[in-house]
Amino acid sequence: MPHDTAEPNQFRKVDVKTALQYGQASGLAPLASWVQQFVTEAMIPEAPYTGGLATTMTLGNTDGFSKALEALSNTWIEGRQPIGEREGILCEEYTFMGGVSTARARGLNITPIKADHEGMLAYGKGGLADILENWDASTGQRPHLMYTVTIGQNPTGAIMGPKRRKEIYELCVKYDIIIIEDEPYWYLQYPSAMSGTHLETRSSTGSSFLDSLLPSYLAGDYQGRVVRLDTFSKTVAPGCRLGWLTAQPTLIERIQRITESSTAGPSGFVQSLIAELILGPDARDSKNSAKSSGWNNAGWCRWLEGLRGNYERRMNTMCDILDQGRDVISTPKRLRFPSSSTIDSWDIVEKTPAYRFNRPGAGMFVWIEVLYENHPLTAHFAPADLAAALWVLLTHKPYLVLVMPGAIFGPTVQIVKESGWKFFRLSFCADEDEVISRSTTGFINGVAAFWQMRDRDEVQALIDEAHAEDIEREMAAMSPGFC
């Protein structure tokens, strides 16, 4: 990167001198301008906005979400304001707790909606329509905000198809709900897992990679009620703290005013590095990719497609092993064949599924439901205790796997108690294939060993270990799982 350039046009000026001065809240001009162009011309050309979508740089999606809430909600303080003034926010049944924490800190009423492998349910018991139609006003106002991750949802890996998306959007129109769509995993949509699941052709974006991705809520946002969060955390590095927010221009202007009086713009150091990566040191040629030394749109899409390929391979590595380990040996049974049979009476054993999961169509996570009701000691322990025991066992030698307990993704105490213990979230994002293979094998071996346990004292010892103060503290301190 040059120290300074004579380039008079700030939108093409990528140099150290500019990056290290005070910047605009909207972001470093060349980078912000590339983001604007990439979003409106390549990512979401279908957006039905008369004047076009607007964008502004953020410090990543946690920051983007926090600022969207600042712009779109009023804080509420228990004991100080009546419950009738309390605003609310809808989210998936299991969700990224970083988002929930931000909303909870503002006093918002967190309202989870039942979800399946396509994410939030539009209809049916506990679905969006059900919750809104039968709103319980004793908990606060009916919500006008929604926090949702529709692609590779954290933690469930759910991916929302176009039909569900339209249903949800129309309910948001009916009940006047602003959708805050947090999509850090949007680029990680796996062709192998999704074949046949999403079938609408996108309008051509000029990139076969982008054409292969399910469109954003913004693509059909004819009422301007969608705020979308994108980040470089999952595509360049989490430590960047850099992303952007896309919405209607009026809201973007408000977000920029909020930025000026809170964080100021993102660090010039990271903005200039990423601008140089994408636009090259000679940003003047950015419109002409043949001449430019930067990646530009085509190079950026190739990078994203490469990332997707890597994660897809890791996902399949993990899921292939999980498939192998699903059915575990339960109680061996005596054969009922006649004794004249040549088959040894212990040769055949009953196999029972220890867990189930969907191969994720997107994202970085496998969400596993453990079937404790199939465990030989199920009659002797509460299933939540069996879950705690298994979690501890997995951390022991030789398994040495740390899985995220489902409970830490439950946005309400009720969900945590009712079903949080059923789930583990496994992540295939942070390591090489070999490590993923070893850890997942550790997981299935640990599960198999757990299903072999017959000694109640042994299980009780694991439960006691889980409830020991230091482990509980450690679990409480666990990151709600950025990654």
- The reply on whether position 266 binds a copy of itself by CB under 8 A is yes
The answer to whether the CB of 267 falls within 8 A of the CB of 241 is yes
Of 37, 40, 101, 460, the residue at the interface with a copy of itself (CB under 8 A) is 101
Return all residues near 361 (Cβ < 8 A) that are at least 6 apart.
Answer: 152, 157, 159, 189, 190, 193, 194, 197
SS3 404: strand
414: nearest Cα among 136, 144, 141? 136
- The reply on whether position 262 binds a copy of itself by CB under 8 A is yes
Place of tokens 């979308």: 228
- The reply on whether position 222 binds a copy of itself by CB under 8 A is no
- The reply on whether position 105 binds a copy of itself by CB under 8 A is yes
In this structure, what token pair is assigned to residue 372? 């404790």
Is the dihedral angle over the CA atoms 37, 39, 45, 49 positive or is it negative? Answer: negative
- The reply on whether position 261 binds a copy of itself by CB under 8 A is yes
CB of 167 to a copy of itself, least distance (A): 31
245: nearest Cα among 32, 406, 100? 32
Of 200, 260, 418, 472, the residue at the interface with a copy of itself (CB under 8 A) is 260
Calculate ∠ Cα 17-22-24, nearest 5°.
110
Region binding a copy of itself by CB under 8 A among candidate stretches 182-190, 230-238, 318-326, 410-418: 230-238
CB of 472 to a copy of itself, least distance (A): 19
- The reply on whether position 482 binds a copy of itself by CB under 8 A is yes
The answer to whether the CB of 230 falls within 8 A of the CB of 246 is yes
- The reply on whether position 66 binds a copy of itself by CB under 8 A is yes
- The reply on whether position 446 binds a copy of itself by CB under 8 A is no
- The reply on whether position 56 binds a copy of itself by CB under 8 A is no
113: nearest Cα among 101, 100, 122? 122
CB of 2 to a copy of itself, least distance (A): 15
- The reply on whether position 278 binds a copy of itself by CB under 8 A is no
Closer residue to a copy of itself (CB): 311 or 372: 311
Q: How many residues bind a copy of itself (CB under 8 A)?
A: 42
- The reply on whether position 468 binds a copy of itself by CB under 8 A is no
In this structure, what token pair is assigned to residue 305? 């497609």
Return all residues near 404 (Cβ < 8 A) that are at least 6 apart.
Answer: 155, 424, 425, 426, 427, 478, 481
Region binding a copy of itself by CB under 8 A among candidate stretches 74-82, 324-332, 347-355, 380-388: 74-82
User: 140 — phi, psi (to 5°)?
Assistant: 135, -175
Closer residue to a copy of itself (CB): 23 or 30: 23
Of 30, 127, 268, 360, the residue at the interface with a copy of itself (CB under 8 A) is 268
Of 12, 13, 14, 23, the residue at the interface with a copy of itself (CB under 8 A) is 23
CB of 170 to a copy of itself, least distance (A): 31
- The reply on whether position 234 binds a copy of itself by CB under 8 A is no
Closer residue to a copy of itself (CB): 103 or 315: 103
Return all residues near 214 (Cβ < 8 A) that are at least 6 apart.
Answer: 150, 151, 159, 160, 161, 162, 189, 198
In this structure, what token pair is assigned to residue 387? 């879950």
Chain residues that interact with a copy of itself, rule: CB under 8 A: 19-23, 59-60, 62-63, 66, 74-75, 77, 80, 98, 101-102, 105, 233, 237-242, 257-258, 260-270, 273, 479, 482-483
